[in-house]
């Protein structure tokens, strides 16, 4: 299994997801900003990306734009799981087909495990 990339500016969320992925038997990499995330996406083939919408003063839109760009050759089809506490029904309905999954924070270990099983099948 290829590594997962976790992108979130909240270090508690990074630690939680890293631990949960380890328990699942997966390897993860972490980034807390757009620049670091894009560097990983350029260099390492990924299983999936867990991506927070808001990264401090940055927007994850920069990362999404890069993933879908011609410059991205390694992870063109990587599955993106969007995470946020700011997601409402309208957002979910509008963007549900643009991402593999949308996780509304806070989410449980059980919900995360459900998504991981879907990603690995």
pLDDT tens, position by position, 5-46? 999 999 999 999 999 999 999 999 999 999 999 999 999 999
Euclidean distance between CA atoms 108 and 30, whole angstroms: 20
Give the least confident one: 29-33, 57-61, 80-84, 113-117: 57-61
Whether 76 and 55 have beta carbons less than 8 Å apart is answered as no
Residue 110 predicted with pLDDT over 90: yes
Q: What local confidence, expressed as pLDDT, does residue 73 receive? A: 95
Q: Which domain holds residue 40?
A: 4-120
d(CA 113, CA 60): 23
Domain count along the chain: 1
pLDDT band at 88 (very low <50, low <70, confident <90, very high): low
Residue 15: which CATH number?
3.40.50.2300
pLDDT of 51-74, one tens digit each? 998 888 888 889 999 999 999 999
């Amino acid at each position: 299994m290829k590594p997962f990339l976790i992108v979130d500016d909240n270090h508690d969320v990074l630690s939680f997801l890293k631990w949960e992925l380890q328990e699942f038997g997966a390897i993860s990499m972490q980034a807390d900003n757009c620049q670091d995330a894009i560097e990983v996406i350029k260099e390492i083939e990924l299983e999936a990306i867990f991506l927070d919408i808001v990264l401090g003063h940055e927007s994850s839109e920069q990362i999404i734009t890069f993933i879908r760009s011609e410059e991205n050759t390694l992870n063109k089809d990587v599955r993106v799981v969007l995470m946020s506490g700011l997601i409402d029904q309208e957002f979910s309905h509008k963007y549900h087909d643009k991402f593999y999954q949308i996780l509304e924070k806070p989410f449980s270990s059980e919900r995360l495990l459900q998504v991981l099983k879907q990603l690995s099948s």
